Amino acid sequence: MKKISTLFIVTFLVSCTSNTIFEKPKDLIPQDTMSLLLQEMVIAGSAKFIKNKNNEKNINYMPFVYDKFKIDSTRFMESNLYYMSKIDMYQDLLDSAKKSLEKRSEVFKRQKTVLDSIRKDSTVKARKIQMKLDSLKLVKDSLGTIKKDTLN
């Protein structure tokens, strides 16, 4: 009975080898390109729910991403499966994509802050100019411009 149990345990342990690592595809997307591709896909996925310039929503931007990188969805899926089977490598890809997206976000936040301050300055200047124009009209009216009566 011990021999059978031992044989069963050894067989079980040997059969537990991982077979989830896929073969490297012939046209594997390089890691740096894959990181950029993942970034663009996140942006395209997020943009789907935001209105564009034509006030249209729910537009699938993924074909544009594939065109930009000159790949097709099949090549992406094969490369993605390969990288996903190598967990450490895929985690590095995702981390690098996330860091780059965070840097982009910070750049856009700074640009928005600058544009908001410029917009605020321009509205303040516009108000000052309007106040000066209004005060000039008041001065002109107070000088007593002679109004001619058109009925006489």
Domain extent listing, the chain: 19-141
* Each residue's pLDDT tens digit, 61-86: 899 999 999 999 999 999 999 999 99
What pLDDT score was predicted for residue 133?
74
Low-confidence spans in the chain with pLDDT less than 70: 1-3, 5-8, 10-21, 136, 139-152
From residue 12, alpha-carbon distances to 16, 18, 41, 57 in Å are 6, 13, 41, 53
What pLDDT score was predicted for residue 97?
93
Collapsing DSSP to helix, strand or coil, 76 comes out as: helix
Amino acid symbol at 131: M
Indicate whether this model's pTM tops 0.85: no
| CA atoms of 114 and 105, how far apart (whole Å) | 14
